[in-house]
Amino acid sequence: MKGRSEIWIALSLMVLATLACTVSFPTPITPSLGNTSEDTPEQKTLPQVVVATPTPLPESVIAEVAAEDLLLINLYARANPGVVNIDVAAGVGESASAFGSGSGFLIDTEGHIVTNNHVVEGADTIWVTFSDGSLRKARVLGTDPFSDLAVLLVDDLPPSAVPLELGDSDALRVGQRVIAIGNPFGLQGTMTVGVISALGRTLPTYTTATGGAFSTPEVIQTDAAINPGNSGGPLLDSEGRVIGVNTAIQTTTGTNAGVGFAVPVNIVKRIVPRLISEGTYSYPYLGIVADNRFTVSQLASELDLPVNHGVLVSSVEPGGPADQAGIRGGTRQVRVLGTTVTVGGDIIVAIDGDPVQDFNDLIAYLIRETEVGQQVTVTIIRDARQMDVTVRLGKRPR
């Protein structure tokens, strides 16, 4: 009891000290060195010390901060039961050898889990751990390397598992707060908070045998911390709705550098149902090659182009849909902005009357609005003249 009283006295003194703006310290008492006044050294007074006290915050500000905290606490409590940890292994049974892990999230009560294709690629055995520690075996229903999406199925969900609501990535705005939940470095149930740093990024996700690359359009960029193990986990808005699937980071160290990317949920909504029903997704294919290092807007003044928007066609795939429709690729190479660029090809400025500002617009329209075998009208600029070309879309080769 005595020790506790001393602690309370000390705490009280500390509180009293912080309530004052200026404290005058008393003249120190110096021990006497002898019985005579001559033996007493000269006493000195310490200077006054100003104690910095923070300006009190208005109660309305404190309440607002508390409300923000409660929002995130509540969001985590609601969303985390729908997020899973995924461990993958090569081989089965006693011969299984673990080689990776990632994240995923439940989208319905039937046991369908969305994750990244690169998380489960090459796996023979897949284990899913839910937030309550329940362990379940999962199997792959479908994969899509082009969007880096995959769907798993768990037959027996634990009672605590809750599917997450899917949001609308078309309604997103730069600066909007976002939350990532996943398992970075195997640390299950980790939440990080950030903002949408940019929208409309194009992320190369699949490289062809000839060195070209197919890309995912409308990718979300965020500064919410994403690290190895977050792949396949959800990116959420402030209401706990999934707006994207965390898929990649840009870094020089292999860890978070504040530049992460998520596949937008509206692409997930289009592709995942087909992965569940058919195991794969067939992309419409135009059959052109474009140089994405520069936009037409950047090249317009340098090359004296007739327009400052669109997609400059570098080449067309022989025998492909664009080639059959008569779309032309580049005819010569020039040096511009310190780089060799193929020029002289058609410039695609619209598809089905929908304006095309850049390559991201073109592939976004193809993925979201068209199907294999569909006939589309491609508006091009050729020799400073505008014309419409009818193209029957093919199936993107793997």
Catalytic residues: 118, 148, 231
Cα separation values, 104 from 56, 66, 79, 242, Å: 44, 30, 12, 12
Three-state DSSP state, 328: coil
DSSP designation for 89: E
**Which tokens is 358 given?**
């850049």
**Eight-class DSSP state of 186:** G
305-339 residues labelled b (16+ CB within 10 A) or e (exposed): beeebbbbbbbbbeebbbbebebbbbeeeeeeeee
DSSP 206-259: EE-TTS-EEEEEEEEEE-S---TT-TT-EEE-TTS-EEEEEEEE--SSSS--S-
Are 110 and 156 within 8 A, CB to CB? no
Are 258 and 224 within 8 A, CB to CB? no
The CA distance from 101 to 87, in Å, is 4
Tokens representing 254? Answer: 């292999």
Cα 161 from Cα 84, distance rounded (Å) = 9
User: What are the phi and psi torsion angles at 254 (to 5°)?
Assistant: 90, -5
Angle at alpha carbon of residue 210, lines to 206 and 214, rounded to 5°: 25
Helix then strand then coil, in percent of the chain rounded to 5, is 25, 35, 40
- Quote the CA–CA distance of 344 and 96 in Å, as a whole number: 55
State which H helix or E strand residue 67 sits in. helix 59-79
